[in-house]
Amino acid sequence: MQEILRRTSQVIMVGALAASSAWAQSPPPTQDPTKVPPPSEQTQKSQEKPVQQQDTVSPKNTKEDVEAVGNRSVGKGINFYSLEKEIALGKGLAQEVERSSKMIDDPVVTEYVNRVGQNLVRNSDARVPFTIKVIDSDEVNAFALPGGFFYVNSGLILRAQEESELAGVMAHEISHVTARHGTKNATKGQMMQLATIPLILLGPAGWTGYALYEGLNIAIPLTYLKFSRDAEREADFLGLQYMYKAGYDPNSFVTFFERIQTDEKRRPGTIPKVFATHPPTPDRIESAQKEIARILPNRPEYIVTTSEFDSVKARLRNIMFARKVQDNAPGKPTLRTRTEQQQKGQTQGQDPNGNGGDDDRPTLKRRPDSQ
């Protein structure tokens, strides 16, 4: 029993240290509202003035040195998962994604997206191989699971105006894998679970401690796609370096942010899912611009877009249109919920026998000769 208590206390101390470092944040400094321009003016100014990059930069450490990408330790920290376990975990999650999603199987589209992504991976700090696929979905989204299983929605490809914008979002998601944000989140959740062991063993009421343990298990799920603001900031920081090292203009990442922000102001609620948990706020845009100017030396030329991007985008648009036409073809059977049938019955009225007005619903009638 003493050995169990000793190990438990060690787990609690480690958990407390991790939790304090993860969640302890100082309150943001207050600003004088009279000195802060409206968000619209901030966005307009950032669009009018491109980021001025220096010819030479002086990185403070290897994490800021874009030339050290691929030869530095990114993703350090408390993590219960080895790289092998992380790949196995991601493989299981990927199987669930592909079972519940409709995939784009056009070889031209999938080969192009995979090539763009693998170029970014080669110019990153990745320590695992990446598998990149395209999901048939109108939602502007992309996500990378632990272990390098990466999915790009067709809606993101169609929303991007240039190849560098697509590469910027992909580089951001690749950064979540290189920094191992998913398994770090899982580790924090497991440490919180382990910290409740004393409640189970020594609590005044054993069942109360067990219920609290189960409650914490539900309240702190092991999520792999929702990250803290610090993790998103790190993914922005690394993603800018990866797309820069791959030859893309890092300003395109900011441009895409600004356009998403402008669309949200015009039509609230239209923000894509890829930014649902980390919206492109003005301070996030400003932070990205500062990092571009501070750590990325100026280049005479960048990759902004390619004719292949335009042709693949047009091909994908035709594929999506053809599928929608096929899905909406007349005579194709459709499934309706009970709620939809009830609503139709309320519209058409009830018949004298009390049955709904759904003509497709089978009914029983007495034969005249049986009376």
Residues 210, 82: Cα–Cα separation, whole Å:
29
Overall pTM surpassing 0.75 (yes/no): no
pLDDT computed for residue 347 by the predictor? 54
Provide the pLDDT confidence category of residue 126 given band limits of 50, 70 and 90.
Answer: very high
Residue 30 in this model has a pLDDT that exceeds 50: no
Average pLDDT score over residue span 65-82 = 91
Confidence of residue 259 (pLDDT cuts 50, 70, 90): confident
pLDDT band at 135 (very low <50, low <70, confident <90, very high): very high
Say if residue 215's pLDDT is above 50: no
Q: Which of 27-31, 184-188, 222-226, 253-257 has the lowest mean pLDDT?
A: 27-31
**Looking at residue 267, what is its pLDDT?**
79
Query: If DSSP states are collapsed to H, E and C, what string results for the chain?
Result: CHHHHHHHHHHHHHHHHHHHHHHCCCCCCCCCCCCCCCHHHHHHHHHHCCCCCCCCCCCCCHHHCHHHCCCCCCCCCCCCCCHHHHHHHHHHHHHHHHHHCCECCCHHHHHHHHHHHHHHHHCCCCCCCCEEEEECCCCCCEEEECCCEEEEEHHHHHHCCCHHHHHHHHHHHHHHHHCCHHHHHHHHHHHHHHCCHHHHHHCCCHHHHHHHHHHHHHHCCCCCCCCCHHHHHHHHHHHHHHHHHCCECCHHHHHHHHHHHHHHHHCCCCCCHHHCCCCCCHHHHHHHHHHHHHHCCCCCCCECCCHHHHHHHHHHHHHHHHHHHHHCCCCCCCCCCHHHHHHHHHHHCCCCCCCCCCCCCCCCCCCHHHC
